[in-house]
Each structure stands twice: as C-alpha cells, then as structure tokens.
A and B are shown apart, each in its own frame.
Chain A
Amino acid sequence: MQSSRDNHSTLAERFNKDEARVSWHDQTLWWIRQKRDKAAWSLGEEWEGLRSQASQIKAHTLSNLSGYLEEFEANAIANGAIVHWAADAKEHNEIVHKILQDNKVTQLVKSKSMLTEECHLNPYLETHGIDVVDTDLGERIVQLANEAPSHIVLPCIHWKKEEIGELFHKHLATPAGNADPSFLTNAARIHLRDKFLTRRVAITGVNFAIAETGEFVVCTNEGNADMGAHLSDVHIACMGIEKLIPLRRHLGVFLRLLARSATGQPVTTYSSHFRKPRQGQQLHIVLVDNGRSQQLAKEDFRNSLKCIRCGACFNTCPVYRRSGGHSYHTAVAGPIGSILAPNLDMKQYADLPFASTLCGSCTNVCPVKIDIHDQLYKWRQVLTKEGYSPKTKTVAMKTMAATLSKPGLFSFAGKWARRIMRIAPWLVNNKMNPWYKQRNMPAAPKQSFTEWYKTNRNKDKK
C-alpha cells in the first residue's frame, strides 16, 4: 500500500495529471482552512495566547518526559490498566498480536489511530490471520478501497462522494448511483454496528494521556471509539510517548485548540476519558517510542514532538493541497510528516523536506507553534550533508556556488546566458527545461543592471 519507491515530485506529478481534480482537492481543503480561521477568530485575542500556552506545556512535558511517563504508568497501573512499552513499530505490533493470541481472538474493531498506521499494524495483523475493521467512517472507506489514509484527520478527503457511493455499492450492496452522504453514512453505520456487536477486542488511539491521573482521552466526532471500547472485553489503547500532558487541567487548553484547528468546530463531538477498565474488562495501554526519543535528542527537531495531530498544517499547505496525501508516501503526510519521517529513515524520506516552498503558513496555523518550515530548512541541510542529495544536484550547486562567488565569472556567465537566450531561444525553450513546460522564460535584456549602472551612474568611480 505504501511501499511506493517513487518520490514526492513524481507522485505529485501523477496526481496533477487530472487538473480539475487537483483544483477540487485544493478547494475542499481550503474550505476547511477557512473554517479553522473563523473558529480561531471567534476566540479573538485569546487564540494566540492559547497557542503559546499549549506550546509551553508541551515544551515542559518533553523536557521532563521520562518522569511524566513513569508517573503516568504508575497511575495507570493503580487504575487497573496493563501497561506495555514498545521500543519500535515491530515491538508494538507484536505486543498487540500477543494480547490477541492470549485472548484467542482473531477479529477486532479499531477506531482512528495514526500511530497504528505509522506502525503498519493492519497489514501485520492481516498476515497473522487477524481480521481488522476500521470503524472511523473515513478510515473504513480507505480500508475498503485498500488504500492508506491520505490525511491524518480526514482519511478519505481525496474521495468524491460519487466514488464512495460506488465503493459502497460494491462492498456494502448499497443501490448503484446513490451518492447521498447521509444515506451512505447510514449504510456504513448499519454495516459497522454488526462488527461492534460481534468483536470482543477494540483498539483505540489516544489523543492525550494525563500523567497526574493515569487516564487518557480519545477525541472523535463519530463516537466510534466509545462504541468499540465500551462493547469490548479487551480494550487496547496505542499511543506514542509524546501524547502526554502533566495535569488534567491542561486538557482544556488542548481540547479548545484541537477541534478548532482541525475542522473549525469548537470542540470534538466526543472527548472521551478512559480511566479504569469496566469490571471484567482488560484495559491495555501500549506506549510506543518508534524514533521519538531519538527525535527528542535532536535539538533542532525536538519541537516536532509537540504535535497534537490536528491536521491544520495539511489544510493550509499549498503543496499538500495540490499533491495529495499519498504523494508523501508515509503514514503522516503533509508538512509535519515531512519533518517526522526523515527521523525514521533519512534515505527513504530524503525527498520530503524538499516538497515545500518554505512559505511558512504551516508554522502560523500550528496550535502548538512548531517551527515547521524552519525544521524543513534544517532537514535539508542535514540530508545534504549526510549525502542523501542527488549527485547531479550537488554538481549543479557546486558550479553555481563557484560562479556566484566570483563577480567576474558571474557577469560573464550572465551576459552569455542573456545573449544565448536572445540568439538561440530554443536552447532554453525546450522540453529539457522543466521551467519551460508550463511557463515562459523571462525576456533577456541586452543590458544587466550592473552594465546600466556603469554607464549611467558610475562614470567617474571604478
């Protein structure tokens, strides 16, 4: 599903073959960005203050992460939960599988969890004969289509409603040609209700884990996490270790920011607190590192762990809106994904920090004030120094640096470039020049400014 070896630029080019669709994708996400703006403005001056508070709470938590993790673990155990620690994706998947084996279960429901996407839990469990049903509507849609989510909050944002109608017709036997959203939602609800009632194990993600109380909070709009968890005999909650916040009263800051940033709602429909297992129920919490402590150790990139996965940086990103989530070939796409992924695998994701114009809009919308575009810039330097840049680019850059550091050579090259463009424009106006594909080259003037200046202003000076 996500094993594509093509880089962002190639995948984006493919996405752009259908320009009308790109415009539709762009406008859909821009509409969400506008809803976010409205919600932010509705809080007036308080908004920027909330962002600062959230950023500082996370900074404090990250600087004391080990202590808060131990506190959380102790409190969760005292509440009756079973706590597991996973160093990486593989361990995480094995832990979940072991719980299923211990309970002799081969079927489960799962609500939205980007962590399990990051760990590729679904394919892992499927190869072990486990049937996983995603219960978030958007996730169920991409699951039926055998695709990965293209957005962390809106997994099937790249699907049009008519296409969903067809998909449901094929898989859920809805009438052909029916693309009415409420009808389709209802059909999905009936289909999922049966799964909820028959599955004994439910996996959920975690939005916030509170060290002080050992509880965790799951935010959804569909209530599917609650339905799954409450009907299950075994509830497994999977979380990255950065999901922690110290105190319960900090939650208000984050809940107010999360939904407003994500969809423009004042708060998610369900913000469900899980503290103790029901009598007879097992509650497992799997705490996953998977590169996070490594990221924590990198001063330039540490802040990326503040992320609360609201998706606002996706919706505002002019590149994401026009390249689609799958062009990032990683579970968490968009600007934040582009600074998280290289930490996991520099070689495979060396292209992502370059899939940006560094416009800075992501940094401005981020509710926890991650300096996303500065980190993209910094990743570019790291990746180049580590040798993950294409050789041809290195040669080109060295030539450029050499030319630009010698004024004489620069004037000479500039003059000849302009002359060639005038005499033989076909040398640059051809298919080999990516600029020329959809854009004309600038006209080449006879005189550079330097030449003009020498004749018009600088007659007596050298």
Chain B
Amino acid sequence: MTVGLFLPCYVNQFYPQVGVASLELLEKLGCDVVYPLQQTCCGQPMANSGYEHLSSATDELFMRNFHEFDYIVSPSGSCALHIKHHLHGKDHEASAKVRASMYELTEFLTDVLKVEHLDAKFPHKVGLHQGCHGQRGLMLSQMSELVAKPFSKLEKLLGMVNGIELVDLDRKDECCGFGGTFCVMEEAVSAKMGKDRVSDHTRNGASFITGADMSCLMHLEGILKRQKSAVEVKHIAEILNAG
C-alpha cells in the first residue's frame, strides 16, 4: 500500500523526529511511504485566522503534491481536519478525492491498517492530551460532553505498547489553549489554559505528555520548559515507534 506522508510545516522544521517516527512506523507496518518534497503547509494558519481566501495557493500546492495518492496520512489531527473540511482546489472532483483520502495517523492505523498489535516498548507513565481537532473534529475518541459509549483510537493504540502506564486526568479532554494564532493574539488566556493542562498531567504523575497533535504539545512543552519541569512531550508516533 502506497501512502503519501504529509507533515505539518512546523513539524518539518522544528520536530523532524516526529516525521521520522511516523515514516518508520508506517514502513514497519508494511506501507510504502512517499514524502513529496515540495510540500509546505495545509493552509490552516491563514484559514483559522479568517483568511481562508488567501489559502488558494497552498490548496493548489497541496493538490499538486498529493492528488495521486489513495491514502494521505498526517501525524496531526488538526491539519488532517483542515484538509478534510476546507481544501478547495480549482479542480473540484480531484479536491473531493483528496479530502476523502486524508487520514490522521492514528485513525489510519486503527481504521485502515486495522492494527491490533505493535512491537513497541515505552515503560513510562504517560498522560494523553486529546487535541480538540482530532477528538471533536475527527472523532478520534468519545467526547466528555456527549452521552455515548466510550472509545478512543489513541488509547487503543497506546494500549498495545509494552510497559506503558496511562495516567487518569481530572479533565480528560479540555483544550490546551494553543489554538493557532490564538496562542499569541490571546496570550494571557492561552498561557493560563496551557498551565492548567500541564498541572493536570503533572499532578496525576505523568512523566510524559503525548498526543496526536504536535502543535498542542509544542505549546505545553514551552510551558514545561519555562517551569524547568522534568516532564517531556512526545508525539504519539514516537511512542508507537519506540523500543
């Protein structure tokens, strides 16, 4: 199976190890992974700031890079959601196909590859941060607001990792406050939200915070580092590929 790998722009630049882990993980699971070198960004930073009309050039670029793949996989709930909902290239039919071919990494593992077993080891206490776009947008897990049966694609996968211990949080799916440009436009609230999220994890004994979105984790990491905390962030791909 051939998979086109899409990396968020900031992951490419600042967290290459997440790209490496995603690539290796998919390869281990038997995929032939292609990373189109001309890729940049999904266009979400503009669109969420109210400049959807400026994202047509990035939309076209995305189309050029990915239109021929049956499966496009990205280790980001947020970017995957943006492509699925807001990619509008000039060629409508091809755009619809690309939107339908877009998968967030964990949902690709559970729903398409139907992974039931992983050869991974991560003997640590881990707190799972639910990125809102992945959770409420892509429904990677049940949401605390809804009266419905619990499920979680992320927890299912983490459960296959040897030695891992997931900690219970007081608020299991509260937003971390990153929110794209929100993190600088609304600095005070954003930072307070992040601090509260971090303390939920540390209070409950996590040594690592993981999640399917590096943007949330980058924000939480910034706070952890400022607090000189020993707690680290790891993208879920790094844990699923560990050991």
A437 and B14 within 8 A (CB): no
Main SS at interface, chain B: helix
Binds B, one of A81-89, A110-118, A439-447: A439-447
A359 and B37 within 8 A (CB): no
Q: Mark A314-343, 1 if CB is under 8 A from B, else 0.
A: 001011001100000000000000000000
Q: Residue B2 at the A interface, CB < 8 A? A: no
Residue of A with least CB distance to B10? A442
Cα A454 to Cα B38 with chains together (Å): 12
User: In the complex, which residues 413-462 of chain A have their Cβ closer than 8 Å to any Cβ of chain B?
Assistant: 414, 417-418, 434-435, 437-445, 447-454, 457-458, 462
A82 CB → nearest B CB, Å: 42
Q: Mark A11-31, 1 if CB is under 8 A from B, else 0.
A: 011011001001100100010
Given A16-B192, A404-B9: A457 and B35 interface contact (C-beta under 8 Å): yes
B24 CB → nearest A CB, Å: 10
Residue of A with least CB distance to B57? A405
Instruction: Report chain A residues within 8 Å CB of B20.
Output: 449, 452
Number of interchain pairs (Cβ within 8 Å):
224
B145 and A22 within 8 A (CB): no
A318 and B177 within 8 A (CB): yes
Given A16-B192, A23-B196, A354-B182: A450 and B37 interface contact (C-beta under 8 Å): yes
Given A397-B49, A407-B40: A442 and B146 interface contact (C-beta under 8 Å): no
Q: Residue A145 at the B interface, CB < 8 A? A: no
Instruction: Report chain B residues within 8 Å CB of A462.
Output: 37
Q: Residue A389 at the B interface, CB < 8 A? A: yes
Given A44-B147, A364-B143: A437 and B191 interface contact (C-beta under 8 Å): yes
Q: Residue B148 at the A interface, CB < 8 A? A: yes
A16 and B188 within 8 A (CB): yes
Q: Residue A124 at the B interface, CB < 8 A? A: no
Given A380-B50, A400-B45: A358 and B132 interface contact (C-beta under 8 Å): yes
Residue of A with least CB distance to B193? A318
Q: Residue B61 at the A interface, CB < 8 A? A: yes
Cα A91 to Cα B93 with chains together (Å): 51
Given A380-B48, A393-B49: A454 and B37 interface contact (C-beta under 8 Å): yes
Which of A19, A410, A449 is close to B7, meaning CB atoms less than 8 Å apart?
A449
Cα A448 to Cα B12 with chains together (Å): 5
Q: Residue B53 at the A interface, CB < 8 A? A: yes
Cα A13 to Cα B189 with chains together (Å): 7
Indicate the member of A26, A30, A418, A438 with the most B CB atoms within 10 Å.
Answer: A438
Cα A260 to Cα B196 with chains together (Å): 27
Instruction: Report chain B residues within 8 Å CB of A44.
Output: 147
Q: Residue B41 at the A interface, CB < 8 A? A: yes
A442 and B188 within 8 A (CB): no
Cα A444 to Cα B40 with chains together (Å): 18
Indicate the member of A359, A381, A410, A457 with the most B CB atoms within 10 Å.
Answer: A359
A434 and B184 within 8 A (CB): yes
Q: Residue A45 at the B interface, CB < 8 A? A: yes
Interface size on A, residues (CB 8 A): 81
A454 CB → nearest B CB, Å: 7
B151 CB → nearest A CB, Å: 15
Instruction: Report chain A residues within 8 Å CB of B18.
Output: 449
Cα A359 to Cα B174 with chains together (Å): 9
User: In the complex, which residues 355-382 of chain A have their Cβ closer than 8 Å to any Cβ of chain B?
Assistant: 355-361, 363-365, 377, 380-381
A37 and B12 within 8 A (CB): no
Given A37-B144, A453-B35: A445 and B16 interface contact (C-beta under 8 Å): yes
B50 and A354 within 8 A (CB): yes
Instruction: Report chain B residues within 8 Å CB of A26.
Output: 196
A334 CB → nearest B CB, Å: 13
B50 and A389 within 8 A (CB): yes
A358 and B179 within 8 A (CB): yes
Q: Residue B124 at the A interface, CB < 8 A? A: no
Which 9 A-B residue pairings sit nearest by Cβ, starting from the closest?
A: A439-B222, A357-B179, A405-B57, A384-B50, A364-B145, A380-B50, A449-B19, A360-B136, A359-B175
Q: Which B positions have Cβ atoms within 8 angstroms of A?
A: 7, 9, 11-20, 23, 35, 37-41, 43, 45-55, 57-58, 60-61, 132-133, 136-137, 143-148, 171, 173-175, 177-196, 218-219, 221-223, 225-226
List 5 A-B residue pairs with CB atoms under 8 Å apart, sorted by A's residue number: A318-B174, A354-B182, A359-B136, A383-B50, A403-B40
Q: Which A positions have Cβ atoms within 8 angstroms of B?
A: 8-9, 12-13, 15-16, 19, 22-23, 26, 30, 37, 40-41, 43-45, 47-48, 316, 318-319, 322-323, 353-361, 363-365, 377, 380-381, 383-385, 389, 393-394, 397-398, 400-407, 410, 414, 417-418, 434-435, 437-445, 447-454, 457-458, 462
* New A-B contacts (20) at CB < 8 Å, excluding given A381-B52, A393-B181: A9-B189, A12-B186, A319-B186, A355-B189, A358-B132, A360-B132, A363-B136, A364-B145, A400-B45, A406-B40, A410-B41, A434-B183, A434-B184, A438-B194, A438-B222, A448-B16, A449-B18, A449-B20, A453-B19, A458-B35
